[in-house]
Amino acid sequence: MQNMLLTHSLRENYYYNRDLQGFYPDVQDSPNYFQKIHLEYFLKHYQNPQKIADSFAHLPSRADARIAEFFEGQKSTHAAIMLVSIKDFKQKCDRIRGKRLSAYLDKYYNTVIPIIYKHGGEIEKIIGDSLVVVFGLPFLRDYLDGLLIRADNCAKEIIYNLMGTNKEVKISLHDGKIMYYRNRLLDIPEYAVVGKPISDLFQLDAISEVNGINFFVNSSYDLNPNCQTGQYRIVFRRSHWEKMEGKPIYLEGVEYAKFAVLKCA
């Protein structure tokens, strides 16, 4: 399970490393801003927490103490949560193997992860092609409407950048009260996000549609007037979005009766 403290350190030091390399572009002026950043080194070390810690030992940790205290207290917060996954990834694994699969995932993460960080999201875990992302405390302080708008913008930019490629994604978006849990049986600090909204999110992902933001009808996201707008500006380009009619669902333990999709036209 992905260690959230280490992924947070990864983000902090990813930007530090970017600045050392001399990348100071204005986000508004550079449509290929994040494609310029070299992340391969960091991605290859995701599965070795000690290497990450050693690599970044010389860098200041501005917020880790506060975040660790939040986790150790196993505090709860209302957050926006998002699940990103590749269309038909299991079938792709049957066709792509070994180094080709590794290179495929590197390119995918190279696109998705910087966009998540750009919009203030925090990666809770990575499971193969799937990323669970949290928008909220202790990493991001905002009202729920603001958190949902950030998640909405993040999802739209990811979908737009991967449409028409062999890495098209489906994104599920939800919100609710979550708790940060520490597994105290392990020798190293291991944290996870738990709560019913996470379970609902995974069930929604199972029926989600590609190139769209999938959400429950009458959820906070559905009722937020600042999300789901017909147009979204990505740097100098505009993407157009259309809300599909809600479809009935019967998901165990989920109180919502329908889900809908915001499709990129």
pLDDT of residue 4: 54
Helices in 86-167 by DSSP H: which ranges? 89-95, 98-118, 144-162
User: Per the structure, how many domains does the chain have?
Assistant: 1
Would you call 6 exposed, middle or buried from its count of C-beta atoms within 10 A (0-12, 13-18, 19+)? buried
Whole-model pTM? Answer: 0.76
Tokens of 45: 């070390």
What distance in Å separates the CA atoms of residue 54 and residue 171, rounded to the nearest whole number? Answer: 34
Provide the CATH number for the domain around residue 78. Answer: 3.30.70.1230
Cis preceding linkage at 114, omega within 30? no
Residue 249 lies in a domain: no
Q: What share of the chain is helix, strand, coil (3-state, %, to 5)?
A: 40, 25, 35
Residue 237 lies in a domain: no
Amino acid at position 65, single letter = A
**Residues spanned by the domain of 10:** 4-196
> H/E element holding 14?
helix 4-20
Residue 253 lies in a domain: no
Q: What is the pLDDT along the chain (265 residues), one digit of tens a residue?
A: 345 554 554 554 444 444 434 333 333 333 332 333 334 444 444 445 454 444 434 333 445 677 777 777 888 999 999 999 998 888 877 787 788 888 888 899 999 999 999 999 999 888 888 999 999 988 888 999 999 999 999 999 999 999 999 999 999 999 999 998 877 776 666 778 889 999 999 999 999 999 999 999 999 999 998 886 666 666 546 778 888 999 999 998 899 999 999 998 7
Residue 239 lies in a domain: no
Residue 226 lies in a domain: no
Any idea what DSSP says for residue 209? -
pLDDT of residue 95: 81
Residue 89 lies in a domain: yes
What distance in Å separates the CA atoms of residue 202 and residue 208, rounded to the nearest whole number? Answer: 10
